């Protein structure tokens, strides 16, 4: 009977995704990649099995929550396992123990395991902690971010769970970092809930060791009329973010501080118009930022506001019109997006024109999704688009101090991660002209 339920939970969403969900149509190549670079095709989905007992933790991931705290999230198949985490700065020696909460959810014939969420802390910065979940299974460890600069973020969107995903995660893991930021489209489960479990197991070796901070994409919606009209059921249950701590009323948008950076995660697939809770929250959140304490402000959103790829044209436009002015007046430094399965970096922009007081816009929806790459860019290229390439990869934002940061994009080239694009960024809050509200705009090129 259990096997029959698992079959039904898998096969029904499979046919649902074929007939009800749109698919990206890929076309001919136009990129900034060197002529001798051979772009690899999409690769097959990797299904990661559960190899521990029903009482042992699986799908372990950690996330930042409030000041000096971490949330540990995991799933067990057994219901008797307590939602407790033991932790300490030495292996096997636990000086702290916290109890949290648990939940589960149904989706058609699927019933999730017991989802545990435990907040631990206060924790010291830049310190490795060892922890055990629920009193069962292996010991894990994570390192807390530093309290001040320098700090390094990995940014990767549209991750999925393919052989390209494995390559991306391997390249990410080749060099240390402090926090991973993911602007939407995590598992590509698309209503097949077993793929959520598989994704959690796939990323556990990475997400259990460094905080993963995520926001939703279109593949997290999983809306079905009447039965599941609200959407995001699995996403909200499995990937709880610190929205309450930032004054948000929704797990779909929130913010947090880490070291000297204020990170804002926006929701492309919840209301964002003038009367929406999200827009009012964003305005209040931006108003609370102290650039003396957090001089860098970074925003993540799924659907890009600027895009010269032929895929997903205009899908972020209404959100841009609603929110762009707020970000510009707050002197946001960088805006990252996913959705388009390619990499593209723009100059500083405001209202479709080059503006040295506007954010740098970067699309990085190339983590390893099953749909493949968005191969076609518009030609001729806009002068606002400084680098664009449809290849799988990941990015790194290393903030050195309150003045400068270094951004680099690393193309997946099978066994090697090749740094194909890089740029130095100056902090906008340190620009006298931008602080005074003057326009340093020197170019009037329109997108």
Regarding whether 164 and 119 lie in a shared domain, the answer is: no
Regarding whether 291 and 201 lie in a shared domain, the answer is: yes
Regarding whether 258 and 217 lie in a shared domain, the answer is: yes
Position 20 in a domain: no
Q: What is the pLDDT of residues 188-215, one digit of tens each?
A: 999 999 999 999 999 999 999 999 999 9
Regarding whether 258 and 119 lie in a shared domain, the answer is: no
Q: What is the pLDDT of residues 243-278, one digit of tens each?
A: 999 999 999 999 999 999 999 999 999 999 999 999
Confidence of residue 436 (pLDDT cuts 50, 70, 90): confident
- Taking 90 as the threshold, does the pLDDT of residue 169 lie above it? yes
Q: What is the CATH number of the domain that holds 101?
A: 2.60.40.380
Confidence of residue 34 (pLDDT cuts 50, 70, 90): low
Catalytic position from the list 312, 339, 341, 394: 312
What pLDDT does residue 416 have? 73
Owner of token pair 């659907």 = 303
Position 377 in a domain: yes
- Taking 60 as the threshold, does the pLDDT of residue 186 lie above it? yes
Verdict on whether the full-model pTM lies above 0.95: no
Regarding whether 244 and 334 lie in a shared domain, the answer is: yes
Regarding whether 419 and 300 lie in a shared domain, the answer is: yes
Parallel, antiparallel or unpaired: strands 343-350 and 353-354 = antiparallel
What pLDDT does residue 228 have? 83
Confidence of residue 227 (pLDDT cuts 50, 70, 90): confident
Position 85 in a domain: yes
Pull the structure tokens for residue 118: 């435990």
Provide the domain count of the chain: 2
Q: What is the mean pLDDT of residues 222-227?
A: 86
Regarding whether 151 and 140 lie in a shared domain, the answer is: no
Distance between start and end Cα atoms, the chain: 57
Q: What is the mean pLDDT of residues 79-102?
A: 97
- Taking 50 as the threshold, does the pLDDT of residue 291 lie above it? yes
Q: What is the DSSP letter of 423?
A: E
Percent helix, percent strand, percent coil in the chain, to nearest 5: 20, 30, 50
Regarding whether 289 and 375 lie in a shared domain, the answer is: yes
241, 232 Cβ separation under 8 angstroms: no
**Of the residues 125, 144, 163, which one is the last residue of a structural domain?**
144
Preceding peptide of 262 cis, ω within 30°: no
**What average pLDDT is seen over the chain?**
90
Q: What is the CATH number of the domain that holds 419?
A: 3.60.21.10
Position 16 in a domain: no
Position 9 in a domain: no
Give the Cα separation of 153 and 367 in Å (integer): 15
- Taking 90 as the threshold, does the pLDDT of residue 383 lie above it? yes
Position 10 in a domain: no
Comparing 12-26, 55-69, 138-152, 202-216, which segment has the lowest mean pLDDT?
Answer: 12-26
Position 25 in a domain: no
149, 399 Cβ separation under 8 angstroms: yes
Give the Cα separation of 349 and 354 in Å (integer): 5
Decide if 312 is catalytic: yes
Q: What is the pLDDT of residues 321-341, one digit of tens each?
A: 999 999 999 999 999 999 999
Which residue range(s) make up the domain with 101?
Answer: 53-144
Q: What is the pLDDT of residues 116-129, one digit of tens each?
A: 999 999 999 999 99
| Cα separation values, 400 from 174, 265, 403, 404, Å | 20, 22, 8, 6
- To the nearest whole percent, how much of the chain has pLDDT over 90? 83
Give the Cα separation of 289 and 428 in Å (integer): 14
Give the Cα separation of 154 and 211 in Å (integer): 11
Q: DSSP characters for 47-101?
A: PPPP-S-TTS-EEEEEEE-STT-EEEEEEES-SSS--EEEEESBTTB--EEEE-E
Regarding whether 224 and 79 lie in a shared domain, the answer is: no
3 state SS of 276: coil
Q: 360 vs 34, which has greater pLDDT?
A: 360
Regarding whether 156 and 132 lie in a shared domain, the answer is: no
3 state SS of 297: strand
Pull the structure tokens for residue 295: 């001089």
Comparing 284-298, 366-380, 388-402, 404-418, which segment has the lowest mean pLDDT?
Answer: 404-418
**Of the residues 81, 115, 144, which one is the last residue of a structural domain?**
144
Position 430 in a domain: yes
Question: 226: how many CB neighbours lie within 10 A of its CB?
Answer: 5
Regarding whether 162 and 99 lie in a shared domain, the answer is: no
């Amino acid at each position: 009977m259990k096997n029959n339920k698992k079959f039904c939970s898998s096969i029904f969403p499979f046919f649902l995704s074929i007939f009800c969900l749109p698919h990206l149509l890929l076309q001919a190549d136009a990129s900034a990649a060197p002529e001798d670079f051979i772009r690899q095709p999409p690769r097959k989905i990797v299904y990661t099995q559960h190899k521990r007992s029903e009482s042992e933790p699986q799908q372990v991931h950690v996330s930042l929550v409030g000041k000096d705290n971490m949330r540990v999230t995991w799933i067990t198949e057994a219901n008797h396992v307590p939602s407790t985490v033991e932790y300490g700065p030495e292996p096997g020696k636990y000086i702290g123990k916290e109890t949290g909460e648990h939940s589960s959810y149904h989706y058609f014939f699927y019933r999730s395991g017991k989802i545990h969420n435990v907040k631990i802390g206060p924790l010291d910065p830049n310190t490795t902690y060892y922890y055990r979940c629920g009193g069962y299974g292996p010991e894990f460890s994570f390192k807390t971010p530093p309290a001040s600069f320098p700090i390094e973020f990995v940014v990767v969107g549209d991750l999925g769970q393919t052989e390209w995903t494995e390559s991306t995660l391997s390249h990410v893991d080749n060099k240390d970092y402090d926090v991973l930021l993911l602007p939407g489209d995590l598992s590509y489960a698309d209503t097949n809930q077993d793929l959520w479990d598989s994704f959690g197991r796939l990323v556990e070796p990475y997400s259990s060791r460094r905080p993963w901070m995520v926001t939703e994409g279109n593949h997290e919606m999983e809306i079905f009329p009447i039965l599941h009209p609200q959407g995001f059921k699995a996403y909200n249950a499995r990937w709880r973010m610190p929205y309450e701590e930032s004054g948000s009323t929704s797990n779909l948008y929130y913010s947090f501080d880490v070291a000297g950076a204020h990170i804002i995660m926006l929701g492309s697939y919840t209301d964002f118009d003038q009367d929406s809770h999200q827009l009012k929250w964003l305005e209040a959140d931006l108003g609370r930022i102290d650039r003396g304490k957090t001089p860098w402000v970074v925003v993540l959103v799924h659907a890009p506001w600027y895009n010269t790829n032929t895929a997903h044209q205009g899908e972020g436009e209404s959100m841009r019109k609603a929110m762009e002015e707020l970000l510009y007046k707050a002197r946001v430094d960088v805006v990252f997006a996913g959705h388009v399965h390619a990499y593209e970096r723009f100059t500083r922009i405001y209202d479709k024109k080059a503006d040295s007081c506007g954010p740098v816009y970067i699309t990085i929806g190339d983590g390893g999704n099953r749909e493949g790459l968005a191969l076609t860019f518009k030609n001729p290229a806009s002068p606002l688009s400084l680098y664009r390439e449809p290849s799988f990869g990941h990015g790194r934002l290393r903030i050195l101090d309150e003045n400068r940061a270094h951004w680099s994009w690393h193309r997946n080239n099978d066994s090697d991660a090749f740094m194909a694009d890089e740029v130095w960024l100056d902090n906008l809050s340190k620009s006298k002209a931008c602080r005074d509200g003057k326009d340093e705009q020197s170019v009037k090129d329109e997108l």
